[in-house]
């Protein structure tokens, strides 16, 4: 067996890991690279494998950094199944079509305004590409093994994180590889805690927050303080938010604050057709979350849904305080850019980021004190208060990750850390080595690792499974 780390190695985007078993090829996750231009440019490069040799694709969850390359893969000739959970299938339909629309919209804008060095500017993929990819989605139930090809059996286990998110447990000829996907929080109010699987021989583990612990402050109290502070000076709160997971967390806490009369009575708008559709999807998958039907309905009713462009434009003309939630979470696209362009220069307003901001994104620039950001080709001054709320993270921190690892009943043969910035991944590697003494390595971009019961061969060198490098 061989693992090739084709994305989310040295970074948190572009998740793709190729599993080769004899002449079988299974791709685990198929994500887009996001963030700085050098990463985004990788999306335009030819796939680093023969697409027609793929037997199957397995998705851990629907986020674009794990699923967004599927339309390109299908356009390149992939015609096999894409296995995922039922909720992931429904969310992917929404996200991929929206992503394609944004690609086409951006290319059209650049062409109309002559703001691209390419003539013409082209979308990375089209709506037709996205629809063909959606046709390949093949839902499978949690906790139910299924064969993706004769030699490879997969079981989806709950990962928490977002609706439908799964770990992919892969069994091959008596050996087990566990792909964590993105691990969720133990005490998330909406999503279940990550499952405690049987100990795998090999573990591919995310390391997004491998170097930090999350703030344990009550998110509701923090949010209430930010809202009161902003409304007291007559401002509005603009929230760039990820449509899947983060928007619903915000709506959950806003609904609770409203119910307890702990926030001013100001209008709340969800200005994202995609996020609106995603939020409605939660009602169809109650078994995959902690919320009851009534709690889910309360969450969905916490905001006025904005769908039309005219309604979205109207929001920027209002003088009264409000909360505007719109995509995307790192301010890389979507309607939130129009709100930021219109409202970031006003000191009364607050721009509230609620998640990780990848280097090179507008969100990263703003939370790190940037005085201006470029939006639609123009530089916009940032005079609004910029706040990052870390308590809503949907990723396990290193403490939660170590606690999850401690539930295994025996040592893991080898751990491969991906989906993390270099410092975060290496920090988690050290912590795992110190606490457990298990072999653990941070994977490199495009690296391939040969797997065997007694040995893990990397870059041509063999290492006994019981050894790890001293620091």
Is residue 143 domain-shared with residue 228, that is, in the same domain? no
* pLDDT tens digit sequence for 375-427: 988 999 999 999 999 889 899 999 999 999 999 999 999 999 999 999 999 99
Are 197 and 48 contained in the same domain?
Answer: yes
For residues 199 and 309, state if they share a domain.
no
Residue 198 and residue 271 in one domain:
no
Residue 166's CATH number:
3.60.15.10
Q: What is the pLDDT of residue 329?
A: 87
Determine phi and psi for 246, rounding to 5 degrees. -70, -40
User: Residue 331's domain spans which residues?
Assistant: 219-388
For residue 462, being part of any structural domain is answered with: no
Percent of the chain whose pLDDT exceeds 70: 96
Name residue, tokens 């499974």: 465
What Å distances lie between residue 16 and 43, 66, 300, 419, CA to CA?
12, 7, 33, 10
- My answer on whether 114 and 63 are in the same domain is yes
Q: Give a yes or no: residue 460 inside a domain.
A: no
Residue 471 within a domain: no
Task: Indicate if 17 and 150 belong to the same structural domain.
Answer: yes
The ranges of the chain with pLDDT < 70 are 453-471
Residues 247 and 203 in one domain: no
28 and 175 belong to one structural domain? yes
For residue 469, tell me if it sits in a domain. Answer: no
Please count the structural domains in the chain: 2
Report the pLDDT value the prediction gives residue 357, as an integer from 0 to 100.
82
pLDDT digits (tens, 9 = 90+) for 289-346: 999 999 999 999 999 999 999 999 999 998 899 999 998 888 988 899 999 999 999 9
What's the CATH number where 266 sits? 3.40.50.10890
Residues 20 and 92 in one domain: yes
Mark whether 159 and 196 lie in a shared domain: yes
Are 76 and 122 in a shared domain? yes
Q: Tell me what pLDDT residue 123 has.
A: 92
Judgement on whether residues 377 and 292 belong to the same structural domain of the protein = yes
Per-residue pLDDT, 390: 83
Rounded to two decimals, the pTM is 0.89
């Amino acid at each position: 067996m061989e693992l090739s780390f084709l994305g989310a190695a040295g970074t948190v985007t572009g998740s793709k890991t190729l599993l080769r078993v004899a002449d079988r090829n299974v791709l685990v996750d198929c994500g887009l690279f996001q963030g700085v231009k050098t990463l985004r440019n990788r999306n335009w490069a030819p796939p680093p494998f023969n697409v027609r040799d793929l037997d199957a694709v397995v998705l851990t969850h629907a986020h674009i950094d794990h699923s967004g390359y599927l339309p390109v893969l299908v356009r390149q000739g992939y015609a096999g199944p894409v296995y995922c959970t039922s909720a992931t299938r429904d969310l992917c339909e929404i996200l991929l079509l929206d992503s394609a629309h944004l690609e086409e919209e951006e290319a059209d804008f650049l062409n109309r305004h002559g703001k691209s060095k390419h003539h013409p500017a082209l979308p990375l993929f089209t709506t037709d590409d996205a629809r063909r990819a959606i046709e390949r989605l093949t839902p499978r139930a949690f906790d139910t093994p299924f064969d993706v090809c004769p030699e490879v059996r997969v079981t989806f286990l709950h990962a928490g994180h977002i609706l439908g998110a799964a770990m992919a447990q892969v069994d091959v000829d008596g050996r087990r590889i566990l792909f964590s996907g993105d691990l969720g929080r133990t005490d998330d109010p909406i999503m279940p805690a990550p499952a405690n699987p049987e100990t795998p021989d090999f573990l591919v583990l995310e390391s997004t927050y491998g170097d930090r612990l999350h703030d344990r402050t009550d998110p509701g109290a923090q949010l209430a303080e930010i809202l009161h502070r902003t409304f007291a000076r007559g401002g509005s709160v603009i929230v760039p938010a990820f449509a899947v997971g983060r928007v619903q967390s915000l709506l959950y806490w806003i609904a609770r604050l409203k119910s307890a009369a702990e926030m001013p009575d100001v209008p709340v708008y969800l200005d994202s057709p995609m996020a609106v559709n995603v939020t409605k999807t939660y009602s169809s998958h109650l078994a995959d979350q902690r919320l009851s039907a009534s709690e889910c309905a309360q969450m969905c009713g916490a905001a006025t849904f904005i769908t039309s462009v005219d309604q979205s434009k109207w929001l920027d003309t209002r003088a009264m305080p409000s909360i505007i939630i719109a995509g995307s979470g790192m301010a890389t696209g979507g309607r939130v850019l129009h709100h930021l362009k219109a409202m970031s220069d006003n000191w009364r307003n607050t721009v509230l980021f609620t998640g990780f901001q990848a280097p090179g994104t507008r969100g990263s620039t703003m939370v790190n004190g940037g005085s201006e950001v470029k939006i639609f080709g123009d530089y916009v001054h940032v005079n609004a208060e910029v706040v990052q709320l870390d308590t809503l993270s949907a990723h396990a921190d290193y403490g939660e990750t170590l606690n999850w690892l401690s539930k295994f009943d025996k040592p893991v043969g080898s751990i491969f850390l991906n989906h993390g910035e270099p410092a975060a991944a290496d920090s988690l590697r050290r912590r795992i080595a110190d606490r457990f003494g298990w072999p653990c390595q941070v994977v490199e971009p495009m690296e391939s690792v040969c797997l065997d019961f007694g040995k893990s061969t990397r870059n041509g060198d063999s290492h006994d499974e019981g050894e790890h490098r001293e620091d």
